[in-house]
Chain A
Amino acid sequence: MSTAVMARTGDADAAVGALFQAQRLPMVRLARLLVDDLETAEDVVQDAFTALHRKWRSIASHDAAVGYLRACVVNGSRSVLRRRRTARAHPWPDATTLSADGADSGLLVAEEHREVLAALRQLPARQREVIVLRYWSDLPEAEVAAALGISVGAVKSSASRGRDAIAALLGGMS
């Protein structure tokens, strides 16, 4: 490897390393809402950073890097779900989210949130992604559209249908 290439690789390592420190946690949380289990979420995010590292030279800015990561996470999550669609027949409880150690090992989420999350799981992939990016990542509609590669109009309609579906599911559950 030539010195020039080494230097270039070093830049990418440092820059992507800094992004990894700052963005790993929010990205894992995003992935976790899309794929349901932590191990898969970590995997998806690692793959996203590997992809970013590979493409580093063509990434123009910090914002572009974060946007690229987010798109990788959404797409990676969707392909994971596609691969194991049949395995997800039973949505809850999600045993994979539980730590495997100890008597009475504790964790997690209050009941009122569990029904919301269970309702989220019933949505089609697109609506779920839009809802998560809008209300967890707090992205404006234009950025949701960019992350998903769809139009702003499609974001609006998916969000609205997703909200209605969740409202209906929650109404039916209580």
Chain B
Amino acid sequence: MSDEIERRLRDSFDAQARAGVPDGALPPPPRFATAAATGGAAARRHGRWLAPLAAAAVVLAVVGTILGLQSGSDHHNQQPVAVPSGQNPSSTAIQTAAAAPVDMRMAPADGATYGVGMPVVAYFSHTFSSAKPLAAATAVTVRGKPVQAAWYFETSTEPGYPIEGHLRMPDYWPAHADVHVAVAANTLTAATTVDFKTGARTIAVVEDAKHKMILTRDGKQIGVYPVSLGASTTPTERGVKVIMEKRPSVCMHDVAGTYYECGIKLAQQLTSSGEYLHAAPWNVQNIRAGIDTSNGCTNLLPADASTLYKTLEVGDVVSYPDAKGPEMKVAGGYGDWNVPWAVWLKGGLIPTG
């Protein structure tokens, strides 16, 4: 009895810890540096990390030494850069970055396998005027051969990290391939690498007009599934999304907090705003009838949700060409593929040319 209680406690604590405080969440800047610099508790509460003493305190995973950026902004030139929520850092290596105003850490995780839509992402604690040195120092190979890839920068939704940079090729990564990203030491960053693999080219297209998801793998159709998307008041975002995370069961709530519901099964996250693919046993009739009733999620028949949960992986592409909501943003999840390549090459918020 006691053993059983101990086991349940350990399991529940573990689940709560991971869900409540995710591994990949961006750490806030340490306050002790600010407190030491100012001695003031008031500054401590909402103050940004003041630079002077912080340099020695910045100890971060991996890489980058972004130097000489943004001379006019001395009150936030000293924060870490890290990976998006729900992802493992690419490395656990720790380096002291005493001389580095900013460090950079990239996702995805080294050695892992992802769908062909997986972007490489880095978060930046402050903006800078040109990403040219970073762009010039970045080399990407697929199966050992150099390929064209480019950075694109956008406002980030991560608190304290105003900018994020995404790296991708003109089209999805080739399937069943090894991808190697190398950033050479340059005037902005120190040298770093990320290696990952891609799985099959698995792409789901959700046609709102037909209320169907059509799933293809390596070019072959492998399934068609009825769906119910967002109701007219809460429409599903349009555009190409990428599976960010999978969870066997989640709780959900709406923006206003007017509902809160747990036990939503077989959930695969598509946007930071909270759109998922998930089983909706309560909505079977509307799914079959092709009526859009959800809060933005893609409701699936329970059996289909189970199949898709087994079939799809993080990084797989789920596209919504005719959904009725606004177009998904790059930083609204992995929204990279919504930007045309010609536009992407300009670098977005921070020019790369």
- The 0/1 profile, CB within 8 Å of B marked 1, for residues 89-120 of chain A is 00001010111111111111111111011001
Are A135 and B6 in contact (CB-based, < 8 A)?
Answer: yes
A52-B275 contact in complex given A98-B260, A100-B255, A103-B234, C-beta closer than 8 Å: no
Q: Which residue of B lies closest to A46 (CB)?
A: B31
Q: A126 on the interface (CB 8 Å rule)? A: no
B-chain residues with CB within 8 Å of residue A25 when the two chains form the complex: 21, 23, 27
Q: A73 on the interface (CB 8 Å rule)? A: no
Are B56 and A14 in contact (CB-based, < 8 A)?
Answer: yes
Q: B247 on the interface (CB 8 Å rule)? A: yes
B-chain residues with CB within 8 Å of residue A106 when the two chains form the complex: 247, 250-252, 264, 267, 269, 274, 276
Are A131 and B9 in contact (CB-based, < 8 A)?
Answer: yes
Which of B32-40, B175-183, B314-322 lies at the interface with chain A?
Answer: B32-40
Are B20 and A108 in contact (CB-based, < 8 A)?
Answer: yes
| Least Cβ–Cβ distance between B96 and chain A, in angstroms | 7
Q: Which residue of the partner chain, among A41, A52, A103, contacts B254 with CB atoms under 8 Å?
A: A103
Choose among A13, A93, A106 the residue with the greatest number of B CB atoms under 10 Å from its CB.
A106
The CA of A14 and the CA of B36, in the complex, are separated in Å by: 13
Are B10 and A135 in contact (CB-based, < 8 A)?
Answer: yes
Q: A42 on the interface (CB 8 Å rule)? A: yes
The CA of A28 and the CA of B274, in the complex, are separated in Å by: 24
- The 0/1 profile, CB within 8 Å of A marked 1, for residues 1-20 of chain B is 11001101111111111011
Q: Which residue of the partner chain, among A52, A103, A113, contacts B297 with CB atoms under 8 Å?
A: A103
B-chain residues with CB within 8 Å of residue A49 when the two chains form the complex: 30-32
The dominant DSSP class at the A interface is helix
* Those of A10-39 within 8 Å (CB) of chain B: 10, 12-14, 16-18, 20-22, 24-25, 28-29, 32-33, 38
Are B255 and A101 in contact (CB-based, < 8 A)?
Answer: yes
B-chain residues with CB within 8 Å of residue A17 when the two chains form the complex: 30, 33, 56-59
Q: B111 on the interface (CB 8 Å rule)? A: no
Q: A158 on the interface (CB 8 Å rule)? A: no
Q: A50 on the interface (CB 8 Å rule)? A: yes
| Least Cβ–Cβ distance between B346 and chain A, in angstroms | 28
B: contact size bracket = 35 or more
Q: Which residue of B lies closest to A29 (CB)?
A: B17
- The 0/1 profile, CB within 8 Å of A marked 1, for residues 166-191 of chain B is 00000000000000000000000000
Are B59 and A18 in contact (CB-based, < 8 A)?
Answer: yes
Are B28 and A107 in contact (CB-based, < 8 A)?
Answer: no
Choose among B36, B251, B295 the residue with the greatest number of A CB atoms under 10 Å from its CB.
B251
A-chain residues with CB within 8 Å of residue B21 when the two chains form the complex: 25, 28-29, 32, 38, 41
B-chain residues with CB within 8 Å of residue A97 when the two chains form the complex: 20
Are B5 and A117 in contact (CB-based, < 8 A)?
Answer: no
Q: Which residue of the partner chain, among A10, A116, A131, A167, contacts B56 with CB atoms under 8 Å?
A: A10
Q: Which residue of the partner chain, among B27, B96, B249, B269, contacts A14 with CB atoms under 8 Å?
A: B96
The CA of A170 and the CA of B8, in the complex, are separated in Å by: 10
| Least Cβ–Cβ distance between A46 and chain B, in angstroms | 4
Q: B127 on the interface (CB 8 Å rule)? A: no
Q: Which residue of B lies closest to A95 (CB)?
A: B257
Give me the interface of A with B, judged by CB distance under 8 Å. Answer: 9-10, 12-14, 16-18, 20-22, 24-25, 28-29, 32-33, 38, 41-42, 46-47, 49-50, 52-54, 93, 95, 97-114, 116-117, 120, 131-132, 135-136, 163, 166-167, 170
Give me the interface of B with A, judged by CB distance under 8 Å. Answer: 1-2, 5-6, 8-17, 19-21, 23, 27-28, 30-33, 35-36, 44, 53-54, 56-61, 94, 96, 98, 157, 230, 234, 247-255, 257, 260, 262-264, 267, 269, 271-276, 294-297
Given contact pairs A95-B257, A104-B276, A109-B15, a sample of 6 additional A-B residue pairs in the complex whose CB atoms are under 8 Å apart: A14-B59, A103-B254, A104-B294, A108-B250, A113-B11, A163-B5
